[in-house]
Amino acid sequence: MKTIKKKIPKFKSTDEEIEFWDKNDATDFFNFQNLEKISFPNLKPSTKMISLRLPEALLERLKTLANKNDVPYQSLIKILLSEKVNEEFKKVG
C-alpha cells in the first residue's frame, strides 16, 4: 500500500485547480485502495424523456406564458405539473 505524502495545495481559482490537476497525478495525493461509496442526495434528480401529445392551442398558451415569465416552456410545464401533482397528493392524503 502506497503512503500518501503529498498535500493538495489551496487554490486561488478554479482555473488554477484545473491547471494543477492537468499536470499532476491524483494517485500521488489519494489512496484509491480503500474507497468508500458515498451518495449525494441533493443533486439534481435524473430525468426521463417522454413523449406527450398536447393540443396545439394549449402548447401555444404554455409557450406564451413561459415567454412572459422568461423561462423555457418545457421547464414551465415541469413546474406546473409538479405543483398540480403535489396539490393532488395533499387532497388524497
Confirm whether 78 is domain-assigned.
yes
Q: Is the pLDDT of residue 91 over 70?
A: yes
Residue 80 inside a domain? The answer is: yes
Q: Has residue 58 been placed in a domain? A: yes
Domain assignment present for residue 84? The answer is yes
Helix 56-68, helix 73-92: angle, nearest 10: 100
Q: Using the predicted structure, report yes or no on whether residue 54 has a pLDDT greater than 90.
A: yes
Residue 68 lies in a domain: yes
**Is residue 6 in a domain?**
no
- The model's confidence at residue 4, banded by pLDDT at 50, 70 and 90, is low
User: Looking at the 3D structure of the chain, how many domains does it have?
Assistant: 1
In a domain, 20, yes or no: no
Q: pTM for the whole thing?
A: 0.52
**Angstrom distance (rounded) from CA 76 to CA 66:** 6
Bigger pLDDT: 57 vs 37: 57
Q: Which domain holds residue 70?
A: 52-92
- Residue 31 burial class via C-beta count within 10 angstroms: exposed 0-12, middle 13-18, buried 19 and up: exposed
